[in-house]
Amino acid sequence: MNPTGPRRPRRNPLLRSSRPGLLVAAAAATLLVFSGCSAGTPGQPQAKPSGHATPTASHTPRPLPTSTPTAAAAGFDKHAQSIDDPTSTWVVVNKPRPLNPINYTPASLVYPEVTYVNRQPMRPEVAEALVRMFQAGKKEAGLDFSVQSAYRSFESQTNVYNEDAARNGKAYADTDTARPGHSEHQTGLAVDISAVPAKCSLDACFAHTPQGEWLAANAWRFGFLLRYPADKVPVTGFAFEPWHFRFVGEPLAAQLKSTGITTLEEFFGVPGGTEYH
């Protein structure tokens, strides 16, 4: 990632899909629509999707507050789920750890009844938790949120990466865009969240909006992890993305909160970093 480089507009055609409905299964429709870019309107420039946006030089991110490390919760089993199986909510995908199979597609994808910037689905467990989180943000703080992006297929990620490489060169693209098979969005477990009304969407300054601050403090309660913290770029391999939240489930999210560990790489002791292997 290039945290000081200028934001470059990116095209991301709007996903065309079936009607919305809370937790309505849409796997069959999903397989038909994810052959291209999965967000935005064809022919119109779009904001960069998560894992690919570069904060502008005018916004210097403040390190996010972290919990004071405490003893791990008694009985927590790090081996309860696989970190290699893409169907697992604990799967760790990053630059040196591609998905296996690399063209993995979730078996079930749904559209929760929430506000969308780009209408994209997610796995059912993510949708259920996201609805509860958005409802809590509204009830507790009077805040409104929208889904900027969610699931992106291998084909869609290929289009995004190739477009960046063609425009800026492969070397630059590798600092700015996840290669296909290396993006959390392909798991169906990642959600990019924006404020309503929109402010600092896909920008580091989202961290300082009321929505960004509430999410940073409360997302763990609903099983989400702020996946790319400001102070962990060398670990995660991606620049600070205060809008990108990864669903890991409530037990693991609570364990991360309890121990003060902020990345999956550090918690599970697996490779990360800025280089592809």
Question: pLDDT for 100-137, tens place per residue?
Answer: 999 999 999 999 999 999 999 999 999 999 999 999 99
pTM above 0.85, yes or no: no
Task: Please write the tens of the pLDDT for every residue from 217-275.
Answer: 999 999 999 999 999 999 999 889 999 999 999 999 999 999 999 999 999 999 999 99
The residue-averaged pLDDT of 181-191 equals: 96
Nearest Cα neighbor of 111 from 103, 102, 120, 100 is 120
64-101 pLDDT, tens digit each = 333 333 334 568 999 999 999 999 999 999 999 999 99
How is the chain split into domains, by residue range?
10-268
Q: Are 10 and 49 in contact (CB under 8 A)?
A: yes
Separation CA 77–CA 45 (nearest Å): 45
Q: What is the pLDDT of residues 240-252, one digit of tens each?
A: 999 999 999 999 9
From 3.40.50.360, 3.30.1380.10, 3.40.50.300, 3.40.50.150, which CATH number describes the 10-268 domain?
3.30.1380.10
β-bridge partners, 144: 196
Query: Which residues belong to the active site?
Result: 241
